[in-house]
């Protein structure tokens, strides 16, 4: 009698077939990313002008030899201007991949944005007929008219507050999911900045802190001098609460503590006054005192630069303190979202309730913490029904059907669960 094939086993022939299919798909997607920059191909409009970012049906997959991993599988949510949006969920739910998709930093060719939109409202450079950026010149008043100031025969370029050359700008909305890499470089770092999860691995060990901060200035602030770049770097180190900014400027990453390195990463992300800061676990491996200081710093800086923050964390306490809106993710999908009050005072999805029950409390007398039973489904072979069904204690007949869509329970609160209908509970 033939031995029954194991469901989790893939033969060498099957693996090679998958690899050939993946290579064909990723080659086409990589070619699209490296195409010539034509702005009309990714120019779009916001659905709500109050938002700075809108994710709509975002799908980011990883093409592996064992199959396609749907890391982000139809994610839709928005980040309003001037607000903090917390993205929570257990490891592997797609939080970081969503943020890397926004930065176009998903590791290719295996990782690819395959579908959906990421609309971002940006200040784009105005260009002339030859495609060159149009500079702004210094002017003075003569005989009641504004005339361009000249040094010899050359007009004097106007400098911005950071010491770089000023250019004429237009506010535009770009679909980052459709942008070629060449065009994305004008946004990444200047308009969108990211505080990475591990400062020790994100900072280059062979360059000083000053070298790495200055490099950001030279890349994104055109025309800035070495003197102004250094002054800006030291100003940022001082802003993030480093006691000896001139001394730290000359040091190497290994000479700093974890908290100091995290502050350097924040300083680096703020150097160009971005419109959006992505903070991916900004308080990981920091003690509670330093954690509180970092959160206060982020809140203070957000108000100072009138920017928005996308805060990715496992810590529900951090989200409760920092976030205006909360997005809960599970297995690559958004399962619940709303204001911080909605999520913490009235959690609806059984997974969100489970997350909150598993959080330790200072005043509670609990022998053991709650643990959500079961496991996350295999990301290579996701079921057609609700991904949380096999772990849910409120499961019903409808849960075996089509994956539930997000429904609005209130104007600000949405959930993807068959326990609820549009406008309220079933």
Q: Quote the CA–CA distance of 252 and 248 in Å, as a whole number.
A: 8
Count CB neighbours of 146 within 10 A: 8
Share of the chain above pLDDT 90, in %: 54
User: Of residues 371 and 284, which shows the higher confidence score?
Assistant: 371
- Across 408-424, average pLDDT: 87
The pLDDT tens digits for 310-363 are: 999 888 888 988 999 999 999 999 999 999 999 999 999 999 999 888 877 766
The owner of tokens 């000023």 is 166
Buried b or exposed e, range 66-102, using 16+ CB within 10 angstroms: ebbbbbbbbbbbbbbbebbbbbbbbebbbbbbbbbbb
Position 112 confidence tier, pLDDT thresholds 50, 70, 90: very high
Structure tokens that stand for 9 in this block: 């086993």
- Across 189-210, average pLDDT: 88
- Report the relative pairing of strands 325-330 and 51-64 from DSSP bridges: unpaired
On the question of pLDDT at 168 being above 50, the answer is yes
Specify the pTM: 0.89
Reduced DSSP (H G I as helix, E B as strand, rest coil) percent helix, strand, coil of the chain, to 5? 30, 25, 40
Which of 320, 296, 324, 294 has its CA nearest to residue 309? 324
Q: H or E segment at 424? A: strand 424-425
Share of the chain above pLDDT 70, in %: 95
DSSP string, 69-124: EEEEEEEEEEEETT-EEEEE-STTSSHHHHHHHHHT---TTTEEEEEEEEEEEEEE
**pLDDT of the residue at 364:** 62
Position 116 confidence tier, pLDDT thresholds 50, 70, 90: very high
Structure tokens that stand for 331 in this block: 């297995």
| Most confident option among 172-181, 260-269, 283-292 | 172-181
Q: What is the CA radius of gyration of the chain?
A: 24
- 85 and 79 Cβ atoms separated by less than 8 Å: yes
C-alpha to C-alpha distances, 187 to 47, 179, 253, nearest whole angstrom: 21, 11, 27
Position 418 confidence tier, pLDDT thresholds 50, 70, 90: very high
Mean model confidence pLDDT for the chain: 89
Q: What is the dihedral of CA 27, 33, 36, 38, to 10 degrees?
A: 140
């Amino acid at each position: 009698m033939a031995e029954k094939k194991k469901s989790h086993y893939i033969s060498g022939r099957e693996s090679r077939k998958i690899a050939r299919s993946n290579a064909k798909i990723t080659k086409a997607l990589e070619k699209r990313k490296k195409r010539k920059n034509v702005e009309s191909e990714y120019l779009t409009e916001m659905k709500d002008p109050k938002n700075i970012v809108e994710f709509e049906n975002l799908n980011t997959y990883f093409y592996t030899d064992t199959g396609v991993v749907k890391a982000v599988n139809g994610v839709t949510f928005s980040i309003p201007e001037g607000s903090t949006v917390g993205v929570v969920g257990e490891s592997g739910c797609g939080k970081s991949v969503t943020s890397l998709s926004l930065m176009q930093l998903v590791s290719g060719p295996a990782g690819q944005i395959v579908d959906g939109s990421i609309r971002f409202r940006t200040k784009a450079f105005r260009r002339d007929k030859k495609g060159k950026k149009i500079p702004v010149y210094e002017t003075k008043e003569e005989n009641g008219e504004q005339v361009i100031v000249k040094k010899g025969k050359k007009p004097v370029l106007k400098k911005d507050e950071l010491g770089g050359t000023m250019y004429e700008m237009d506010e535009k909305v770009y679909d980052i999911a459709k942008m070629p890499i060449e065009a994305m470089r004008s946004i990444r770092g200047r308009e969108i900045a990211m505080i990475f999860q591990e400062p020790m691995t994100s900072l280059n060990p062979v360059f000083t802190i000053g070298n790495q901060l200055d490099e950001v200035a030279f890349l994104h602030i055109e025309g800035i001098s070495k003197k102004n770049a250094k002054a800006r770097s030291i100003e940022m180190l001082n802003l993030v609460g480093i006691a000896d900014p001139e001394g730290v400027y000359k040091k190497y990453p290994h000479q700093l503590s974890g908290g100091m390195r995290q502050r350097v990463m924040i300083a680096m992300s703020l150097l160009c006054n971005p419109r959006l800061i992505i903070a991916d676990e900004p308080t990981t491996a920091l003690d509670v005192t330093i954690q509180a200081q970092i959160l206060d710093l982020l809140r203070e800086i957000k108000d100072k630069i009138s920017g928005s923050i996308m805060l990715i964390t496992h810590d529900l306490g951090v989200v409760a303190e920092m976030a205006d809106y909360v997005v809960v993710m599970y297995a690559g999908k958004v399962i619940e979202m709303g204001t911080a009050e909605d999520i913490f005072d009235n959690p609806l999805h059984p997974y969100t309730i489970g997350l909150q029950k598993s959080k330790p409390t200072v005043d509670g007398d609990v022998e053991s913490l709650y643990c959500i039973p079961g496991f996350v489904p295999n990301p290579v072979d996701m079921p057609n029904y609700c991904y949380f069904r096999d772990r849910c204690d409120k499961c019903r007949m409808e849960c075996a059907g089509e994956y539930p869509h997000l429904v609005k329970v209130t104007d600000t609160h949405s959930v993807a669960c068959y326990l609820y209908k549009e406008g309220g509970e079933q």
